[in-house]
Amino acid sequence: MKKYIIPILIVSLIGIFGGTCQVLAGFGVSPPFINNNHLRPGSNFEETIYLVRGQPTEDLIAEINIDAPEIEKWITIEKGLRFLLPKDVQQFPMKVIINIPDDAAYGNYQGYIRVRVIPSGSSTGGQVTNLLGGRIDVGLTVSEEGFSDFRLKGLSIPDFEKGDPLVCLMVLINTGNIKTKPTKVHFDIYNTAHTQIIKSGDIFDMDFVEAFQESQIQGTLPINLEIGEYWADVTLYKEEVPLDAYKVYFKVVPEGTLNKEVEKTKGLSTIDYKLGGITIVMVLVMLAWINKDKIKTVFKRK
């Protein structure tokens, strides 16, 4: 048995390092699927697939083929069916947009999105060497059943002035086929050491996020806190089910502090730029009118 140990180790090492090299030098798609089992006629959603290269040392061309006879017209690649993969970009995002027609029949639909990668100087009809590619499996279910669900992508509590309400900003991804929002958002406000609960409260009134969309919503909690630094344990609820608690740091500042900071840092707004442009034009017109005789003289000389 001993005489086989060294050959086995050599083969194993070759397999390990050989496989690693193949991955580094190759091409892949992540995730390799688009699945949605809760679609309704007329709904739409987007999915981002990353085209991954191990060694992005040259420009390449990605060519996309949608192999899904029943649902080919439902699928759109934002960048088109042929686009550049620039060098030095290891993970290139490809947005896939799916639009379900209003008259789509209920049922399950399947297909594939095939990606092949060729050197940037190659044409579609020529012989391609070192061809790389990947396949994205597509599985869609169109149903009349309503389905509500969401994921929290981000949550923050901006600093606010003493006497103002607490505002909670949430970025939600609606993964259901009907508009949705948290049933409630619960707050436990702690001192700066996070050792003592000072206040608690709930937010119920929030905007909805439309089906399959990502959006920022906000809720307002009237609360009386002294000037200082705080932590909030924030828990979102789906129906009666609490999600994980999120620990968020924020500050309460003296009245008028934030307004002064905004005035100092806001710069010119859009309307300021427009007014500035109008002012400049008016000044130029006035200068032209004042110097009209000189301008006429110049043109006469020419």
Reading the chain (302 residues) residue by residue, the pLDDT tens digits are 444 444 434 334 333 333 323 333 488 999 999 999 999 999 999 999 999 998 889 999 999 999 999 999 999 999 999 999 999 999 999 999 999 999 999 999 999 999 999 988 765 444 444 567 899 999 999 998 888 999 999 999 999 999 999 999 999 999 999 999 999 999 999 999 999 999 999 999 999 999 999 999 999 999 999 999 999 999 999 988 998 889 999 999 999 888 644 433 333 233 233 323 333 334 344 445 445 554 444 344 44
Biggest CA pair distance of the chain: 108
Q: What is the pLDDT of residue 171?
A: 95
Task: At 114, list the tokens.
Answer: 């095939």
Q: What is the pLDDT of residue 240?
A: 86
Cβ-based neighbours of 52, under 8 Å, separated by 6 or more: 27, 28, 29, 30, 90, 91, 92
Q: What is the pLDDT of residue 131?
A: 60
For the entire predicted model, the pTM comes to: 0.61
Distance of alpha carbon 224 from alpha carbon 42, whole angstroms: 46
Cβ–Cβ under 8 Å, residues 63 and 126: no
